[in-house]
Each structure stands twice: as structure tokens, then as C-alpha cells.
Homo-oligomer: A and B are copies of this chain.
Amino acid sequence: MGGDFAPAHVVRGSLDALEESGDRFSVVFVGPEKDIRDELRRQAGQTGSGKQEAYTIVHAPDVIDMHDAPNAALKTKKRSSIGVGLELHRDGKADAFVSAGNTGAVLSASTLILGRAKGVGRPTIGALVPTSSGPCLLVDAGTNVDCRPRHLFEFAVMGSIFVETMLGKSNASVGLLNVGEEASKGNAAAYEAFELLQKSALNFAGNVEGRDVLTGKVDVVVCDGFVGNILLKFGESVPAFLKAKLTRFARQNVLNSLVALIARGGLRSVMKELDYQEYGGVPLLGVNGVSIIGHGGSTPRAFKNMIYRAEEAVRRNVNGRVQEAMLKYA
């Protein structure tokens, strides 16, 4: 029941994943059974196939919506799709969990139900940011707003493993997001995190600045979730800002309006790779399980890709490798 268009987009994306991928995995739908069956019937009618054998349904009557306070909702809505789904995963009845629901609730429930990996103080979520030379992981993307130096260090370790395992880059380079390149720069947390990173066996490239994020100078950009959230939301707002500016520019005269029309088309092509749907969602790193968290507005294509990411995370053993690294640095 997660996301703004549940269960329609969840079901459509899942069926597409099953149809496209053959027998690689099966899907367990968790939510109000009748709603899911109704949706499956509607969707099957549209496509004709449905591949019924590859999915099962587990009933979970409670729905946590986007406006619910995460922790309160988890207590009062015991049988939500988030809670029941994560319990299935914990109990080995599913190999991974995927949701586009209330992010705070998915985070809390994942940490509570799956438990933290050994040596991890703060599980984290990163975000893939497009750069001039492929995607880089910005971590933490908003999960942990107040961080101690050790937490920033953990993000660096887990982020490196993510990039190496999921993006297939070896020896991922790590940059600490800061206000200057010199080791002496930064707020208190960044200053101390620099030392922890410097001493470690990570491929630490030193401090990076705000202007370095989009150049792809490093594979992993480490920051606290306060900075990460603000930076990501700022970045997401840039295309709309440019579009508004172009619209005003276009209104000035006919030539401008032609230029703006073409510019907008060019911009659209360029912006395509900023599209979160292509990647789907990112795993919560540092818990004992695979919990993939997607955008609230996830489309069927985004859900399909989230399922692929979950399958990849299991197959490539991201969790095992995170656990191994964290024990090494504990």
C-alpha cells in the first residue's frame, strides 16, 4: 500500500518485473487482500497475461499513510503492509522488502524489525546523484540529521560497499562534504570525521566542496542527513526553476519563444538522467536485511526497478559485505 498510487503502481510494476525477468524471483504482495485482488484483476484484464504462479498475497489490513507520524503509526497499526512485509523478510519468508510508503515508517520499522548490523550505530540511506561522469552516492540522504563523526565514518564505509557492490566500481573513492579542501576546514563533526577517514583503509580523497558534487570527483560523498536532505531537495528544484526562467524569457518576444522551446527540449533530454525511476530505489544500509525504499510518487517503472534492485542486493550480498566491512572497522 506504499506510495501515492497504491496499489495500482505497485501491482503494475511488479507484474512487469515478473513478465520481463522470467523465473528469477517471485513477488509477495502485502496489503489489504481484497484491494490487491481487485487490482490484479484490473491489471490482468489490461494485459491478458498476469503470470499468476509467480506471486502470492499476504493479507495486511492496516494502512500507514504518508501523513502518519511514523512511530505512533507503527504502534497503532500493527498489521500494516510495512510491518507485516518486514516480518516476512525477517522470518525468511521473503528475501527482501520493497516499499514506496511513508519513509519514516519504513526506516523505523526496518531498524526495529530487522535489527541493526553489528557495529552500525546509524543505518543510512544514500541517494544517487547524476554527475558529469556517471552516478555518485550522496550519503546520508536525510535519515540522520544530527551526526557524530563516527556516524559520518559509518556512512563512508557503507556507501563504499554500496557503490562497489551495486554499481560495480572497484575501490570506490570517498569525499567528505565540507566548506573547503583543507583538512582544517569544517564544523566540529566534519573536522573529526576527516581524521577517522584519513586513518582508515578506505579510498579517502579528502574534503570535497558543494561545487564538486556534480563533477563526479568522487564516487561517494559523505555528509549528515541535514545537509544531504537540503542539498538533494535543492537540486531537485533546479529544473523547475530553469523552466520558469525560460518561460519568462520566452514571453519577451517571438525569437525568444522559439529559442526557449528548443532549449526546453534540449534541457529535457539532459534532465532525463536525473530521473529517479531508472534506478527505482536505494537500500537502507546497515540493517540485517534488504529493505529498498522508493520515492512516494513511484511509477510502475520505478516499482519494477525497485524489485530489480532488491534482487540484485540479495544476489550480490550487499548486506554480508556491509557487515564484514563494519566488523573490520568496529
Residues in A lying within 8 Å of B, measured CB to CB? 131-132, 142, 145-146, 177-179, 186-188, 190, 209-215, 223-227, 229-238, 240-242, 244-246, 249, 256, 259-260, 262-263, 265-267, 269-270, 273
Min C-beta distance of A237 to chain B, whole Å: 4
In the complex, the count of this chain's copies comes to 2
10 extra interface residue pairs, beta carbon distance < 8 Å, beyond A132-B241, A256-B269: A146-B188, A177-B230, A187-B226, A214-B238, A223-B230, A226-B227, A238-B238, A242-B242, A245-B270, A249-B270
Choice from B178, B179, B223, B246 contacting A270 with Cβ under 8 Å: B246
Residues of B within 8 A of A265 (CB): 259, 263
CA separation between A231 and B231, bound complex, in Å?
Answer: 6
Residues of B within 8 A of A188 (CB): 146
Cβ contact within 8 Å between A132 and B244: yes
Choice from B131, B215, B230, B256 contacting A210 with Cβ under 8 Å: B230
Choice from B230, B242, B256 contacting A209 with Cβ under 8 Å: B230
Cβ contact within 8 Å between B231 and A230: yes
CA separation between A246 and B235, bound complex, in Å?
Answer: 18
Cβ contact within 8 Å between B269 and A266: no
Cβ contact within 8 Å between A234 and B233: no
- Would you give 22 A-B contacts (Cβ < 8 Å), ordered by A? A145-B186, A145-B187, A210-B235, A210-B236, A211-B237, A213-B234, A214-B238, A215-B237, A215-B241, A223-B230, A227-B230, A230-B231, A231-B234, A242-B242, A242-B267, A242-B270, A245-B273, A249-B266, A249-B269, A256-B266, A259-B265, A263-B267
Task: Give the nearest-CB partner of A104 in chain B.
Answer: B180
Choice from B186, B226, B234, B235 contacting A190 with Cβ under 8 Å: B226
Task: Give the nearest-CB partner of A147 in chain B.
Answer: B187
Residues of B within 8 A of A240 (CB): 214
